[in-house]
């Protein structure tokens, strides 16, 4: 193995269980055959943004060979102050004016002579007009700039966008790998708290972090698990009256969970080693490399958390909680929840869908 390949691989050593995309990125970098636009797709919380940041570091680092490098370039990328690494992660739609500004920035060459990396997290929020405004730039960005589009739902992007991007797929992390991630961050993989967080995390390191270290997130998730057990853990007759009460509880939990998610100081874009440093000293180490016109993660941005998005967050949590129980009879209710998620994505009547979900779960459980 060449020294160059070994050094580049080291940047990704804090990314767990994403061997295929990491191997491809390493090969393309070593060969000098990097495409202009990448599309990173896969479940949320598995390391797509962290991999994109590691890629940017591999192009700019002045030392090399260390996932938590503290050279000036890597430190600036980590803190979101590097002029040639632009990261946008939004809680609302990404409009045409913002895209034109990014395209204009992409046309400028770096003053340092390195490649400019533009990372668009939650790319599914790019509007159709903004997508059309970026087509030319994404197809031929030039040899001085790399675009990385990150999304959980690649089908929501225009086909013309997907056809112009080099697609890399990310997957859920196995429990053994999640335990290794926990150990890399400094957690005891054998402790009861860690094992419980791994059980509920559903193969997502980002979700594991919240369940292990964000008190409010842990509390509301535990209450949701108890609510599910209380609602369907005993035989009884489902009724409209009970369904209406359950619907009210559903929206209360959805609001609380989205509030915990929104207000959590989560180090997005960090690898396992950097998350470990963040846990030790969150005030000094910062909360992530998000640095360009980003909505603040505070309650004042709650208006961007639509009812549909709240429903999706809670439904996904319910599905993961049921899946973590490893009970065969949970397969049908999990399927019903997935059907509900698909309906919510298509802007159905949320209240009616929640009521229908109750009756489906009451019958299935």
Residue 55: what pLDDT? 93
- Which letter, b or e, does each residue of 201-236 get, where b requires 16 or more Cβ atoms within 10 Å of its Cβ? bbbbbbbbbbbbbbeebbebbeebbebbeebbeeee
SS3 153: coil
Q: What is the mean pLDDT of the chain?
A: 83
- Read off the pLDDT band of 287 (50, 70, 90): low
Over the stretch 310-353, which tens digit does the pLDDT of each residue have? Answer: 888 898 889 888 888 766 677 888 899 988 888 887 767 888 88
**DSSP secondary structure letter of residue 121:** E
Hey, CA dihedral for 148, 150, 155, 156, is it positive or negative? negative
Provide the CATH number for the domain formed by 3-169 in this structure.
Answer: 3.40.50.300
- Read off the pLDDT band of 3 (50, 70, 90): low
Share of the chain above pLDDT 70, in %: 87
- Read off the pLDDT band of 183 (50, 70, 90): very high
Task: Write out the H or E segment, with its range, that includes residue 136.
Answer: helix 128-139
Over the stretch 68-106, which tens digit does the pLDDT of each residue have? Answer: 778 888 888 887 888 888 888 776 778 888 888 888 888
Beta bridge partners of 87: 119
Tokens of 194: 């860690």
**Residues 219 and 256: beta-carbon distance below 8 Å:** no
**Residues 144 and 86: beta-carbon distance below 8 Å:** no
Domain boundary assignment for the chain? 3-169, 230-263+296-365
Choose among 118, 76, 82: nearest CA to 98: 118
First CA to last CA distance, the chain: 54
Q: Taking 80 as the threshold, does the pLDDT of residue 265 lie above it?
A: no
Q: Which residues contact 292 (CB under 8 A, 6 or more apart)?
A: 86, 87, 88
């Amino acid at each position: 193995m060449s020294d160059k390949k070994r050094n580049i691989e080291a940047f990704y050593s804090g990314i767990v269980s994403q061997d295929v995309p990491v191997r491809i990125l390493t090969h393309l970098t070593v060969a000098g055959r990097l495409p202009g636009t990448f599309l990173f797709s896969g479940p949320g919380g598995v390391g797509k943004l962290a991999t994109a940041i590691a890629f940017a570091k591999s192009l700019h680092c002045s030392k090399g060979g260390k996932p938590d490098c503290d050279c000036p370039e890597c430190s600036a990328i980590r803190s979101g102050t590097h002029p040639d690494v632009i990261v946008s992660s939004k809680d609302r739609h990404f409009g045409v004016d913002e895209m034109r500004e990014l395209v204009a920035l992409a046309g400028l060459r770096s003053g340092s002579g390195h490649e400019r990396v533009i990372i668009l997290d939650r790319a599914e929020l790019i509007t159709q007009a903004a997508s059309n405004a970026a087509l030319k730039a994404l197809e031929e960005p030039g040899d001085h700039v790399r675009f990385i589009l990150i999304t959980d739902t690649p089908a929501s992007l225009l086909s013309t966008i997907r056809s112009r991007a080099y697609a890399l797929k990310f997957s859920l992390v196995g429990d053994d790998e999640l335990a290794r991630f926990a150990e890399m961050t400094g957690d005891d993989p054998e402790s009861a708290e860690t094992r419980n967080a791994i059980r509920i995390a559903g193969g997502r390191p980002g979700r594991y972090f919240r369940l292990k270290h964000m008190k409010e997130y842990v509390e509301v998730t535990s209450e949701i698990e108890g609510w599910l057990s209380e609602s369907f853990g005993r035989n009884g007759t489902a009724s409209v009256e009970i369904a209406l009460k359950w619907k009210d509880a559903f929206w209360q939990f959805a609001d609380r969970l989205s509030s915990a998610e929104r207000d959590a100081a989560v180090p997005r874009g960090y690898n396992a080693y950097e998350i470990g440093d963040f846990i030790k000293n969150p005030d000094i180490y910062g909360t992530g490399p998000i640095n360009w016109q980003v909505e603040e993660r505070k309650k004042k941005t709650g208006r961007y958390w639509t009812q549909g998005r709240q429903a999706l967050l809670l439904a996904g949590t319910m599905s993961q909680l049921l899946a973590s129980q490893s009970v065969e009879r949970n397969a049908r209710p999990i399927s019903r929840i997935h059907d509900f998620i698909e309906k919510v994505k298509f802007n159905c009547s949320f209240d009616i869908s929640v009521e229908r979900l109750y009756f489906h779960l009451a019958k299935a459980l």
